[in-house]
Amino acid sequence: MNPTYDFNGQVALVTGAASGMGAATARAFAEAGAALVLVDRDETRLEEIGRAITSAGGKAITLAGDVADEDLAKAAVGRAIAEFGRLDMAYNNAGILGPMCPMPEETGEGYDAVNAVNLRGVWTFLKHELIQMRKQGAGAIVNCSSLGGLVGLPGRAAYHATKHGVIGLTKSAALDVAAEGIRVNAICPGCIDTPMGDGIEPEAMKAFLADQPIGRAGRPEEVASVVLWLCSPAASLIVGVALPVDGGFVAH
Protein backbone atom coordinates (compact mmCIF):
# COMPACT_ATOMS: atom_id res chain seq x y z
CA MET A 1 0.00 0.00 0.00
CA ASN A 2 1.36 3.42 -0.98
CA PRO A 3 1.53 6.25 1.55
CA THR A 4 -1.20 8.86 1.28
CA TYR A 5 -0.56 12.59 1.12
CA ASP A 6 -2.69 15.61 1.84
CA PHE A 7 -2.05 18.18 -0.89
CA ASN A 8 -5.33 20.02 -0.40
CA GLY A 9 -4.83 23.73 -1.04
CA GLN A 10 -1.68 23.06 -3.05
CA VAL A 11 -1.09 23.35 -6.79
CA ALA A 12 0.98 21.06 -9.02
CA LEU A 13 2.13 21.44 -12.62
CA VAL A 14 2.80 18.34 -14.75
CA THR A 15 4.27 18.26 -18.26
CA GLY A 16 3.86 15.29 -20.54
CA ALA A 17 0.59 14.76 -18.70
CA ALA A 18 -1.41 13.11 -21.48
CA SER A 19 -0.11 9.57 -21.01
CA GLY A 20 2.25 7.27 -19.19
CA MET A 21 4.08 8.52 -16.11
CA GLY A 22 2.76 12.06 -16.53
CA ALA A 23 -0.88 10.99 -16.60
CA ALA A 24 -0.39 8.62 -13.66
CA THR A 25 1.28 11.38 -11.64
CA ALA A 26 -1.45 13.87 -12.52
CA ARG A 27 -4.08 11.42 -11.27
CA ALA A 28 -2.09 10.75 -8.10
CA PHE A 29 -1.73 14.46 -7.34
CA ALA A 30 -5.46 14.94 -7.91
CA GLU A 31 -6.33 12.03 -5.62
CA ALA A 32 -4.16 13.66 -2.94
CA GLY A 33 -6.18 16.89 -3.28
CA ALA A 34 -3.88 19.07 -5.39
CA ALA A 35 -5.19 21.40 -8.09
CA LEU A 36 -3.43 20.80 -11.39
CA VAL A 37 -2.02 22.56 -14.43
CA LEU A 38 -1.46 19.92 -17.12
CA VAL A 39 0.70 20.38 -20.22
CA ASP A 40 1.24 18.16 -23.26
CA ARG A 41 1.47 18.51 -27.03
CA ASP A 42 -1.30 15.91 -27.51
CA GLU A 43 -4.29 18.18 -26.96
CA THR A 44 -6.95 15.49 -27.37
CA ARG A 45 -5.52 13.06 -24.83
CA LEU A 46 -4.58 15.91 -22.51
CA GLU A 47 -8.15 17.16 -22.40
CA GLU A 48 -9.36 13.63 -21.71
CA ILE A 49 -7.09 13.44 -18.66
CA GLY A 50 -8.26 16.88 -17.51
CA ARG A 51 -11.92 15.95 -17.87
CA ALA A 52 -11.43 12.68 -16.00
CA ILE A 53 -9.88 14.55 -13.08
CA THR A 54 -12.57 17.23 -12.94
CA SER A 55 -15.34 14.66 -13.35
CA ALA A 56 -13.98 12.90 -10.26
CA GLY A 57 -14.21 16.14 -8.29
CA GLY A 58 -10.68 17.42 -8.82
CA LYS A 59 -9.41 20.68 -10.24
CA ALA A 60 -7.41 20.74 -13.46
CA ILE A 61 -6.67 23.11 -16.33
CA THR A 62 -4.88 22.07 -19.53
CA LEU A 63 -2.51 23.79 -21.94
CA ALA A 64 -1.42 22.13 -25.17
CA GLY A 65 1.87 23.00 -26.81
CA ASP A 66 5.59 22.41 -27.24
CA VAL A 67 7.45 22.30 -23.93
CA ALA A 68 10.54 23.74 -25.64
CA ASP A 69 8.60 26.99 -26.11
CA GLU A 70 9.50 29.26 -23.20
CA ASP A 71 6.31 31.25 -23.75
CA LEU A 72 4.31 28.08 -23.01
CA ALA A 73 6.18 27.56 -19.75
CA LYS A 74 5.58 31.15 -18.72
CA ALA A 75 1.90 30.85 -19.65
CA ALA A 76 1.46 27.59 -17.73
CA VAL A 77 2.87 29.07 -14.54
CA GLY A 78 0.80 32.20 -15.15
CA ARG A 79 -2.37 30.11 -15.43
CA ALA A 80 -1.55 28.38 -12.15
CA ILE A 81 -1.35 31.76 -10.44
CA ALA A 82 -4.41 33.19 -12.20
CA GLU A 83 -6.61 30.16 -11.51
CA PHE A 84 -5.30 28.88 -8.19
CA GLY A 85 -3.13 31.65 -6.72
CA ARG A 86 0.10 29.72 -6.30
CA LEU A 87 2.39 26.93 -7.51
CA ASP A 88 3.72 24.46 -4.96
CA MET A 89 4.93 21.43 -6.90
CA ALA A 90 5.97 20.45 -10.41
CA TYR A 91 6.85 17.31 -12.30
CA ASN A 92 8.74 18.15 -15.50
CA ASN A 93 8.13 14.85 -17.22
CA ALA A 94 7.74 15.47 -20.97
CA GLY A 95 10.22 13.52 -23.05
CA ILE A 96 10.70 11.65 -26.31
CA LEU A 97 12.88 8.69 -27.24
CA GLY A 98 13.84 9.79 -30.74
CA PRO A 99 15.39 7.57 -33.42
CA MET A 100 17.49 4.63 -32.20
CA CYS A 101 20.67 4.12 -34.20
CA PRO A 102 24.46 4.15 -33.77
CA MET A 103 25.72 7.61 -32.92
CA PRO A 104 27.59 8.14 -36.24
CA GLU A 105 24.27 7.64 -38.03
CA GLU A 106 22.36 10.22 -36.00
CA THR A 107 21.31 13.40 -37.76
CA GLY A 108 21.57 16.93 -36.49
CA GLU A 109 17.84 17.33 -36.96
CA GLY A 110 17.14 14.24 -34.88
CA TYR A 111 19.48 15.36 -32.11
CA ASP A 112 17.94 18.82 -32.03
CA ALA A 113 14.42 17.38 -31.80
CA VAL A 114 15.28 15.14 -28.85
CA ASN A 115 17.23 17.89 -27.11
CA ALA A 116 14.39 20.39 -27.57
CA VAL A 117 11.91 18.28 -25.63
CA ASN A 118 14.09 16.37 -23.18
CA LEU A 119 16.48 19.08 -22.04
CA ARG A 120 15.32 22.48 -23.22
CA GLY A 121 11.76 21.51 -22.29
CA VAL A 122 12.83 20.79 -18.74
CA TRP A 123 14.91 23.99 -18.62
CA THR A 124 12.05 26.23 -19.78
CA PHE A 125 9.56 24.95 -17.23
CA LEU A 126 12.06 24.68 -14.40
CA LYS A 127 13.08 28.30 -14.94
CA HIS A 128 9.56 29.70 -14.72
CA GLU A 129 8.52 27.40 -11.90
CA LEU A 130 11.49 28.62 -9.89
CA ILE A 131 10.71 32.25 -10.61
CA GLN A 132 7.31 31.79 -8.98
CA MET A 133 8.49 29.58 -6.14
CA ARG A 134 11.17 32.07 -5.19
CA LYS A 135 8.42 34.67 -4.74
CA GLN A 136 6.60 32.24 -2.46
CA GLY A 137 9.70 31.07 -0.60
CA ALA A 138 8.77 27.41 -0.97
CA GLY A 139 8.24 24.66 -3.51
CA ALA A 140 9.28 21.22 -4.71
CA ILE A 141 10.18 20.23 -8.26
CA VAL A 142 10.93 16.83 -9.75
CA ASN A 143 12.59 16.61 -13.18
CA CYS A 144 12.33 13.41 -15.18
CA SER A 145 15.73 12.15 -16.24
CA SER A 146 16.07 8.45 -16.98
CA LEU A 147 18.17 5.39 -16.45
CA GLY A 148 19.72 6.89 -19.60
CA GLY A 149 20.96 9.76 -17.46
CA LEU A 150 23.05 7.38 -15.37
CA VAL A 151 24.44 4.90 -17.90
CA GLY A 152 25.20 4.64 -21.59
CA LEU A 153 23.61 2.19 -23.99
CA PRO A 154 24.33 1.64 -27.69
CA GLY A 155 22.07 3.28 -30.24
CA ARG A 156 20.77 5.98 -27.92
CA ALA A 157 23.47 8.64 -27.76
CA ALA A 158 21.24 11.66 -28.30
CA TYR A 159 18.61 10.46 -25.82
CA HIS A 160 21.18 9.64 -23.15
CA ALA A 161 22.99 12.93 -23.68
CA THR A 162 19.80 14.86 -22.95
CA LYS A 163 18.98 12.77 -19.90
CA HIS A 164 22.49 13.22 -18.50
CA GLY A 165 21.92 16.92 -19.09
CA VAL A 166 18.75 16.89 -17.01
CA ILE A 167 20.74 15.60 -14.03
CA GLY A 168 23.34 18.36 -14.35
CA LEU A 169 20.59 20.94 -14.69
CA THR A 170 18.81 19.54 -11.64
CA LYS A 171 21.89 19.55 -9.41
CA SER A 172 22.92 23.09 -10.32
CA ALA A 173 19.41 24.50 -10.00
CA ALA A 174 18.98 22.72 -6.67
CA LEU A 175 22.04 24.47 -5.30
CA ASP A 176 20.80 27.83 -6.59
CA VAL A 177 17.60 27.67 -4.54
CA ALA A 178 18.10 25.21 -1.67
CA ALA A 179 18.52 27.99 0.88
CA GLU A 180 15.25 29.59 -0.29
CA GLY A 181 12.99 26.74 0.80
CA ILE A 182 12.79 25.14 -2.66
CA ARG A 183 13.82 21.56 -3.40
CA VAL A 184 14.77 20.37 -6.89
CA ASN A 185 15.38 16.69 -7.57
CA ALA A 186 15.36 14.26 -10.48
CA ILE A 187 14.13 10.73 -10.93
CA CYS A 188 15.70 8.21 -13.29
CA PRO A 189 13.07 5.68 -14.38
CA GLY A 190 14.19 2.45 -15.95
CA CYS A 191 11.97 0.40 -18.21
CA ILE A 192 8.40 1.52 -17.50
CA ASP A 193 5.29 0.24 -19.25
CA THR A 194 4.35 3.43 -21.13
CA PRO A 195 3.64 4.38 -24.76
CA MET A 196 7.28 5.46 -25.12
CA GLY A 197 8.28 1.82 -24.73
CA ASP A 198 6.25 0.97 -27.81
CA GLY A 199 9.01 2.55 -29.89
CA ILE A 200 11.56 -0.02 -28.73
CA GLU A 201 11.95 -3.20 -30.77
CA PRO A 202 10.65 -6.30 -28.96
CA GLU A 203 14.03 -8.05 -28.93
CA ALA A 204 15.73 -4.96 -27.56
CA MET A 205 13.06 -4.68 -24.88
CA LYS A 206 13.49 -8.35 -23.97
CA ALA A 207 17.24 -7.89 -23.58
CA PHE A 208 16.72 -4.76 -21.51
CA LEU A 209 14.30 -6.47 -19.13
CA ALA A 210 16.78 -9.31 -18.70
CA ASP A 211 19.08 -6.77 -17.04
CA GLN A 212 16.32 -5.34 -14.84
CA PRO A 213 16.73 -7.44 -11.68
CA ILE A 214 13.04 -7.46 -10.72
CA GLY A 215 12.35 -9.12 -14.07
CA ARG A 216 9.52 -6.88 -15.22
CA ALA A 217 8.77 -3.41 -16.47
CA GLY A 218 7.77 -0.82 -13.91
CA ARG A 219 4.28 0.64 -13.77
CA PRO A 220 3.57 4.35 -14.26
CA GLU A 221 1.85 4.41 -10.87
CA GLU A 222 5.08 3.25 -9.23
CA VAL A 223 6.87 6.27 -10.68
CA ALA A 224 4.04 8.57 -9.62
CA SER A 225 4.37 7.40 -6.03
CA VAL A 226 8.04 8.43 -6.03
CA VAL A 227 7.24 11.86 -7.47
CA LEU A 228 4.62 12.51 -4.79
CA TRP A 229 7.03 11.43 -2.05
CA LEU A 230 9.73 13.77 -3.34
CA CYS A 231 7.21 16.62 -3.38
CA SER A 232 5.99 15.86 0.12
CA PRO A 233 7.34 17.01 3.50
CA ALA A 234 8.53 13.41 4.01
CA ALA A 235 11.39 14.21 1.61
CA SER A 236 12.27 17.55 3.18
CA LEU A 237 16.00 16.74 3.36
CA ILE A 238 16.27 15.41 -0.20
CA VAL A 239 17.92 18.02 -2.45
CA GLY A 240 19.65 17.69 -5.82
CA VAL A 241 19.48 13.91 -6.10
CA ALA A 242 19.11 11.77 -9.23
CA LEU A 243 17.06 8.89 -7.83
CA PRO A 244 16.99 5.62 -9.80
CA VAL A 245 13.50 4.15 -10.15
CA ASP A 246 14.66 1.19 -12.16
CA GLY A 247 14.00 -2.14 -10.49
CA GLY A 248 17.67 -2.45 -9.60
CA PHE A 249 19.23 -1.93 -13.05
CA VAL A 250 22.06 0.36 -11.91
CA ALA A 251 22.74 -1.73 -8.82
CA HIS A 252 24.89 -4.08 -10.90
Report residue 186's pLDDT band, with 50, 70 and 90 as the boundaries: very high
Given a cut of 70, whether residue 205 has pLDDT beyond it is no
What pLDDT score was predicted for residue 166? 98
HEC sequence for the chain = CCCCCCCCCCEEEEECCCCHHHHHHHHHHHHCCCEEEEEECCHHHHHHHHHHHHHCCCCEEEEECCCCCHHHHHHHHHHHHHHHCCCCEEEECCCCCCCCCCHHHCCHHHHHHHHHHHHHHHHHHHHHHHHHHHHHCCEEEEEECCHHHCCCCCCCHHHHHHHHHHHHHHHHHHHHHHHHCEEEEEEEECCECCHHHHHCCHHHHHHHHHCCCCCCCECHHHHHHHHHHHHCHHHCCCCCCEEEECCCHHHC
Question: In this structure, which topology does domain 11-245 adopt according to CATH?
Answer: Rossmann fold (3.40.50)
Per-residue pLDDT averaged across 121-134, rounded? 98
Report residue 210's pLDDT band, with 50, 70 and 90 as the boundaries: confident
Per-residue pLDDT averaged across 78-89, rounded? 98
What pLDDT score was predicted for residue 213? 86
Give pLDDT tens digits for 21-57.
999 999 999 999 999 999 999 999 999 999 999 999 9
Would you list the domain boundaries of the chain?
A: 11-245
Per-residue pLDDT averaged across 156-181, rounded? 97
Report residue 199's pLDDT band, with 50, 70 and 90 as the boundaries: low
Minimum mean pLDDT range among 2-6, 161-165, 236-240: 2-6
Catalytic residue numbers read 159
What pLDDT score was predicted for residue 46? 98
The mean of the pLDDT values for the chain is 94
Report residue 193's pLDDT band, with 50, 70 and 90 as the boundaries: confident
Per-residue pLDDT averaged across 173-178, rounded? 98
